[in-house]
A and B are shown apart, each in its own frame.
Chain A
């Protein structure tokens, strides 16, 4: 599907994209206008109070754009984001991507099993750390896994595993290897580890 790019309105963009405060000398920018419509579901400034909807503060720009496109195209299984993502042009998505990338990710306060988390840390280091660095804290190839809401990560991985969502081939390989060696318990342990990273 070819998306027609919307042009920048000469009259509206008087100020650039800004961070959390989003006010500059009494002005409001278009990126904040767009991004603040998401807060009802994703939380103020993209930090979700859970228990399931993911935080989107601090998602890397490129990943944000990719995932919104995947929602539009139905390549990522979803309950609602397909319906939402289709409401935006490429340019609007880019504006929001820049906006959310600058907002600080705050790890979710959620329950976890410390024993499983400890084992999960080992598994993470073996299978996942290469791309999701520093225990999944570094947001680069995807959003931060550390401190993301556990049910969301579980659903997302389930969809990767069951082939409902498209996923990076190398990532799929590692995930399959983890499951072959450790079963779904291995996946659960890794998720407990990400949930335990609350600092």
Chain B
């Protein structure tokens, strides 16, 4: 298998990539000797790119533009919902990046002039760049679910698919819920940010109910017939939450059983689905997703997402602008934090190589997503990715899922999940 991969890379690197890196991209213009990179969005993809550009070449002038003074990680926000962790443990600031010499600007990017290579912000400032990196995460198609809207999300029915006030709102609602109440979740259709996320959330909330409100029920109205880590979640739900029995805390209604939602009534938190009408005490709607708004405005999108070159993450639609993270089309890499972090490092290496007229080494990526089904029961999915024939590919023989239930190893995976959280956040913001 490796032989095959080797053969492909040899030709593709020598040919296509060599040409791409040397032919079409001339050396960057020098502004007072310094090359300038502007990064839009201080989330996982943006912050990592900024940090690794500085790490690989400290002489490059790096500006990171992000509207919020703090970043709340989505990962482990489900543990906040489960009551196993506090909000402040998922909050990070930009002091670490500032210490590394990155200029962090608190502002919102309103416009990117691709031809003029200028970024404009809400406060009226402009930033010239040699290379721009865009990592705005996802936006929501609220309108896809009649009755739902941004206003409803912010006042009473959170999506909690961007961590922060939304997470807090959902946690408070769960705390206020009576024992015997019903929590209804509407997960999104593919593709979306963090494929196992909704089901990890259900697990976490179930663990909270099991301990504090054992008569509560969870109903999932899913537009899909299958989901990430399906077998592992099903097995875990059976062991912990009676799934499949008449005492099951969790009811999962897939698309082919009428899981598709027709509309909601936000005032009564009632969901009208193909399978019938469901009245919720707490309702969580995770709408269908698309690239962040600034990507659309800049003309970086084709359909809902941004096509990019898989070696440099440069947009195939706009020169000198790179897109990483959830907004980019990097499949088979999923829309995850680990993937965003991994893509960002390759993008940083490509930008440094391009700006210095150097060869870009052959890229490599890793993805892992841990989920905690119940305290002491951690699972994961992992994969190593390589570059072949101009595309990101899964390395055959690598990766896969946690094996069958082994209590000792599941405990270890929970500890390793927490270690992963500490290490990836140190890698992004530290």
Q: Which residues of A contact B13 (CB under 8 A)?
A: 9, 11-12
The answer on a CB contact under 8 Å between A51 and B364 is no
How distant is the Cα of A44 from the Cα of B48 in the complex, in angstroms? 11
Chain A: residues with Cβ within 8 Å of the partner, total of 49
Evaluate whether A12 and B361 lie within 8 angstroms (CB atoms) in the complex, with A23-B55, A38-B366, A83-B382 already known.
yes
Majority secondary structure of chain A interface residues (helix, strand, loop or mixed): loop
The answer on a CB contact under 8 Å between A40 and B384 is no
Evaluate whether A52 and B418 lie within 8 angstroms (CB atoms) in the complex, with A3-B2, A30-B362, A84-B366 already known.
yes
Which segment, of A86-94, A98-106, A134-142, faces chain B? A86-94
Partner of B398, one of A13, A42, A43, A87: A87
> Nearest Cβ distance between residue B175 and chain A, in whole angstroms?
27
Q: Which residues of A contact B57 (CB under 8 A)?
A: 23, 26
Closest to A21 in B: B55
Evaluate whether A83 and B398 lie within 8 angstroms (CB atoms) in the complex, with A52-B412, A155-B412 already known.
yes
Q: Which residues of B contact A51 (CB under 8 A)?
A: 415, 418-419, 422
How distant is the Cα of A12 from the Cα of B402 in the complex, in angstroms? 35
Q: Which residues of A contact B386 (CB under 8 A)?
A: 87
The answer on a CB contact under 8 Å between A83 and B52 is no
Interface check A29, CB cutoff 8 A? yes
Closest to B54 in A: A23
Evaluate whether A43 and B423 lie within 8 angstroms (CB atoms) in the complex, with A29-B361, A155-B412 already known.
yes
> Nearest Cβ distance between residue A110 and chain B, in whole angstroms?
12
Q: Which residues of B contact A7 (CB under 8 A)?
A: 6, 10
A-contact bits for B379-407, CB 8 A (1 contact / 0 none) = 01011111000000001011110100000
The answer on a CB contact under 8 Å between A79 and B409 is yes
> Nearest Cβ distance between residue B396 and chain A, in whole angstroms?
9
The answer on a CB contact under 8 Å between B9 and A9 is yes
Partner of B55, one of A10, A22, A27, A34: A22
B-contact bits for A39-83, CB 8 A (1 contact / 0 none) = 111111000111111000000000000000000000000011001
The answer on a CB contact under 8 Å between A80 and B368 is yes
Closest to B21 in A: A11
Within 8 A of A (CB), among B323-344: 338, 341-342
How distant is the Cα of A112 from the Cα of B345 in the complex, in angstroms? 36
The answer on a CB contact under 8 Å between B355 and A84 is no
Which segment, of B207-215, B224-232, B236-244, B346-354, faces chain A? B346-354
Within 8 A of A (CB), among B41-89: 52, 55-59
Interface check B376, CB cutoff 8 A? no
Binding site for B on A (CB under 8 A): 3-4, 6-7, 9-14, 21-23, 25-30, 32-34, 36-44, 48-53, 79-80, 83-84, 86-89, 92, 149, 151, 155
- 25 residue pairs from A and B, CB less than 8 Å apart: A4-B6, A25-B356, A26-B352, A27-B356, A28-B353, A32-B349, A33-B349, A38-B366, A39-B424, A40-B341, A40-B420, A40-B427, A41-B424, A44-B427, A52-B415, A52-B418, A53-B420, A53-B423, A79-B412, A80-B413, A83-B400, A84-B366, A84-B382, A84-B384, A87-B383
9 closest residue pairs by CB, A with B: A87-B384, A26-B356, A87-B398, A53-B419, A30-B361, A52-B415, A37-B366, A27-B358, A28-B349
Q: A26-B57, A79-B380 are in contact. List 9 more A-B contacts (CB 8 A).
A: A30-B361, A36-B345, A52-B415, A53-B416, A79-B402, A80-B382, A87-B385, A87-B397, A151-B415
